[in-house]
Amino acid sequence: QVQLQGSGPGLVKPSETLSLTCLVSGYSISRSYYWGWIRQSPGRGLEWIGSIYHTGKTYYNPSLMSRATISVDTSKNEFSLRLSSLTAADTAVYYCARAGGIGSGNFDYWGQGTLVTVSS
């Protein structure tokens, strides 16, 4: 059974960098699929941040203006998100998810979500 477990700090200061990790169990990241990050806030709704393949190939949402970096560690079967230059607008629940299907846009397994608050 595929399971995703996200982890990271719940509170970060403005201008700092957020680091989140998603540990995958029940499926080897190296086999297939893209692996993505999505966030949700009352003001912006659900917003796709970006996705990565096990080879390291990445796609990002241009709205993040190059602040996001997604990486993968196949030896640990996990992938990570770094989001820099944080502001209050980045306060959200951050989800990691598996992305399959045509266009790799079908998010079929999700982590539990990590609430991140940006505040001094």
List of residues contacting other proteins (CB under 8 A): 45-48, 59-63, 95, 97, 101-108, 110-113
Task: Check: CB of residue 7 under 8 Å from CB of residue 20.
Answer: yes
The distance of closest approach from Cβ of residue 44 to other proteins in the complex, given in angstroms and rounded to an integer, is 10
Write the DSSP assignment of 75-111 as a string of letters.
TTTEEEEEE-S--GGG-EEEEEEEEESGGG-EEEEE-
Look up residue 31 and give its DSSP letter: T
The distance of closest approach from Cβ of residue 49 to other proteins in the complex, given in angstroms and rounded to an integer, is 9
Between 10 and 62, CB nearer to other proteins: 62
Between 16 and 113, CB nearer to other proteins: 113
Task: Check: CB of residue 119 under 8 Å from CB of residue 14.
Answer: yes
Burial of residue 29 (CB within 10 Å: 0-12, 13-18, 19+) is: buried
The distance of closest approach from Cβ of residue 75 to other proteins in the complex, given in angstroms and rounded to an integer, is 26
Between 5 and 19, CB nearer to other proteins: 5
Both tokens assigned to 88? 């209050």
Between 19 and 61, CB nearer to other proteins: 61
The distance of closest approach from Cβ of residue 48 to other proteins in the complex, given in angstroms and rounded to an integer, is 4
